[in-house]
Amino acid sequence: MRARSGPTVEHRVLAVRLRMLRERAGISLRAAAEALDAHPATVRRIERAETGLDPRQVGELLRCYGVPPTVSEPIMAKLAAANLPGWWHRWRDAMDGWQQDVIGVETSASLVRTWHPALVPELLRTPAYAAALYRTQYPEDTPARRERRVELLRERRRRMGERGAALWALFPAAALRTRVGDRATMDGQRAALAEAMKEQHVTVQVVGVEHPPQPLTGVPPLHILRVPAPEIGDQAVLETPGVRVDIVDDPEAVMAHRIRLDAACAAAPGPGTPLPE
C-alpha cells in the first residue's frame, strides 16, 4: 500500500467514482461498511481518497453496489497505478503537510492561476529568490532541507513546462520592491520574470503601485487549479501564511474565488505589459 504522500489525481478520480456508484445504487455508508465488516468511517475515507485503495475492499464495494463487469473491471485494473506514490513522494521531508494534497492536484492541472498580495508568486520564483525567502520562513531548517525545498519548487515548475500546463499569475508591483535576498537576487528574479512573460503558456500581470484597489486587495495568497477530469472540479487554495491553508473544492466557494480573480485580472494592466521599474 502506498505510503502517505497525498493522493494522486488518479486516486482521487477512482475515489469519486466509488462514491458516485454507491449513491447511484442507493446504498448508505453504513450498508457499504457492513459489506466490508468495517466502520462507516472506513468507507468515507476511501471515498475521500484519504487511504489507499485496497483491491479486496474495492472489489467488495463494487459487488455490494451491483456494478457490472464492464464498469468494475476498468476500475480494478487502475488500482495499482492509483496506489503508486506521486513523483513528489521523495521530497516529503521538505514539504508541509498541506503541500502534499495541493501538489497532488497541481501535478495534473492544465491551468494554475495564482495571486500573491506581497511577493512574486511561488511558481515564478528563481531558486535564489526562493532560497532567500525560505531562510526567513523556515529559520529552523538546516541548509540541506532548505535546498530540498528549492529542488522541489524547481521540479514542480519543470514538470508544468513539460506537460504544457498554463500558468497565470497576478501580483502587485510592490513585490518587485520588497527585497528578498540581496540586490543580485532581485535583479535575477526580475530578469527571470521578463523571460517567463515570453513563454507561450505563461501569463503575468503586475498591478502597479498607483493602481486603485482591486477585488483581491487584502486577500491572502490564492491559487485556483483546473484538472481536466470530470470527476474533479476546480480546486481553490487560500493561504494564511503561518496560520492555516484552506483547500476548497465546494463548487460555489471556488466559483466565488474565481469571480474575484477574474475581476482583478480584468482591472489589472493586460498581459505583456512591461514590468514596472
Q: Could you read off the pLDDT of 155-180 as tens digits, one per residue?
A: 999 999 999 999 999 999 999 999 99
Q: What is the rounded average pLDDT for all residues in the chain?
A: 93
What's the predicted TM-score (pTM) here?
Answer: 0.88
Residue tagged 501535478 (cell numbers): 107
Cell of 178: 520588497
pLDDT digits (tens, 9 = 90+) for 35-72: 999 999 999 999 999 999 999 999 999 999 999 999 99
Return d(Cα 42, Cα 25) in angstroms, integer.
19
The confidence score (pLDDT) of residue 81 equals 93
3-class DSSP state for residue 250?
coil
- In the beta sheet, which residues pair with residue 235? 225
Q: Is 171:121 a contact under the CB 8 Å cutoff?
A: yes
Looking at per-residue pLDDT, the higher value among 22 and 273 belongs to 22
13 pLDDT above the threshold of 50: yes
Length of the chain (residues) = 277
* Long-range contacts of residues 255-260, Cβ cutoff 8 Å, at least 24 apart: 257/222, 257/224, 258/113, 258/224, 258/234, 260/215, 260/216, 260/219
Helices and strands (H and E) in the chain: how many: 11, 6
3-class secondary-structure state, position 170: strand
